[in-house]
Structure 1
Amino acid sequence: MRHRLYYLLPDIECARRTLDDLLLSRIEQRYVHFLSLGAPLPSDLPEANILHRTDVVHGAGNGMLIGAALGLALGALLAMNVDLASPSAVVVGTTLLGLIFGGWAASMVAAALPNTRLKAFYPEIEKGKVLMIADIPASRIKEIEKVLEERHPEMRFSGEDPRIPAFP
C-alpha cells in the first residue's frame, strides 16, 4: 500500500536534487512526478500525467455510479412494461451499458477539469513553485520524510493522501 505525499519545491534545481535523493533512497522514478505551471519541466524530471493533473479518475467513478443507476432504472422500467423473454438479462445489460457509458462520458468531461485534490496547491504553483507528488510505501513514510527534511529544508511538506488509486 502506498501513500501519496505532496511537497512544494522552490525551483527546478531543488526538484532535481530531491529526485536524486529519492532514487538513492530506493524509491523508483515511476512513483515520483512533478507539476509546474511556469517554465516547462526538463526531460529528466518525470512530469505529472493526465491522471494526476485532471479529475479523470474522480469523474469516471462518479459517471459509472450514475450511469449504472440510470441503466438499472431503465432496465427495471423495460422489464415491468414490456413483455420480454428474459427480463433479468435486460436489467443486467442496461445496467452494464449505463456503467460503461457513464464512466466514459464523465471521464471525457473531467479530463478538461483540474484535479480537485491539487486545488490548494495551484496558487503556489502559479507563483513558480514545483509540486512533487511521490507515492511512497506506507512502511517507509517516516524514513523518507526524515531524509527529505534533513537534506531539503527549503521545501515544504504539503500533505498526504492515503487513498491513492492503484494504477497511476
Structure 2
Amino acid sequence: MLPDIPQARATLDELLLARIEERHIHFIAKDNLLLPDMPGANLFQRTDLLHGLELGALIGAVSGVLAGSLLLIFPPENPELKMMALLGSGLGGALLGSWLSGRAAKSIPSSRLEAYFPEIDAGKVLLIVDVPLHKVLSVKQMLCEKHPDLRFAGLSVSYALN
C-alpha cells in the first residue's frame, strides 16, 4: 500500500528502472484517480471473474449432466445419440454456466482484495507487482528503502505461462 498517487507514480519509475516491465506493474486507486501513464489493474485482478467462471462451469456441467441423464431415462432411438446427448448437455451446461456466472462475476470486486478496500477508499494506492518468487525479496527491500511509509501487504503466488 502506498500513501498517495505521487508516491505511487514515483514507485512506478523506480520499478521501471529496476527493469520490471510495465505489464507486470498494476495499481488500484479510489475512483480511478490514477494518472494516465500509470497501469491500472486488469479485469482479472479487480474482479472475481475467474472464480465466477470456474464456479459457473462446475454448476453448469453438473446441471447439464443431470439434464442429459433425463435423455438416458427417456432415450432416443439411436444408442450412439444417448452418449452424445449426455456429453453434449454436460459441455453445453458448462459453457452456459461459465458465461452467465462470468457476466455476473465481472461486476463483483475481487474478494482477495477486500481487506484493502478501506485503505483504497481513504486515498491510498494498492500496488501489485508480478515478479518471479526469487525476485520478491529484492523488490520489497528496494521499495521499502525508498519509501519508508510503504506497507508490504502480502504475497500471492500464481503461475503464469509467460
Q: Same fold (TM over 0.5)?
A: yes
Rounded to whole Å, the distance in 1 between the matches of 2:131 and 2:123 is 25
Rounded to whole Å, the distance in 2 between the matches of 1:114 and 1:138 is 26
Q: Which of 1 and 2 has greater Rg?
A: 2
RMSD, matched Cα: 1.5
Shift in CA distance, 136/110, structure 1 to aligned 2, threshold 3 Å: same
> Is structure 2 residue 47 aligned with structure 1 residue 57?
no
User: Hey, which of these two has a bigger chunk of helix by percent?
Assistant: 2
> Is structure 2 residue 140 aligned with structure 1 residue 140?
no
- Stretches of structure 2 lacking an aligned partner (at least 5 in a row): none
Task: State, as a whole percentage, how many aligned pairs show the same letter.
Answer: 41
Normalised to the residue count of structure 2, the TM-score between the two structures is 0.91
Give the counterpart of 1:121 among 92, 108, 116: 116
Q: Is the 8 A contact 1:54 1:114 kept in 2?
A: yes
Shift in CA distance, 111/10, structure 1 to aligned 2, threshold 3 Å: same
Aligned residues: 159
Trace 1:87-166 onto structure 2 (pairs within 5 A): 87-163=82-158, 166=160
Q: For residue 84 of structure 1, report the CA deviation from its aligned partner.
A: 4.3
Normalised to the residue count of structure 1, the TM-score between the two structures is 0.88
Structure 1 residue runs of 4+, over 2 Å off? none
Shift in CA distance, 56/157, structure 1 to aligned 2, threshold 3 Å: same
Rounded to whole Å, the distance in 1 between the matches of 2:77 and 2:44 is 42
Q: In the alignment, which residue of structure 2 is the partner of 1:72?
A: 65
- Stretches of structure 1 lacking an aligned partner (at least 5 in a row): 1-7
Q: For residue 163 of structure 1, report the CA deviation from its aligned partner.
A: 3.4
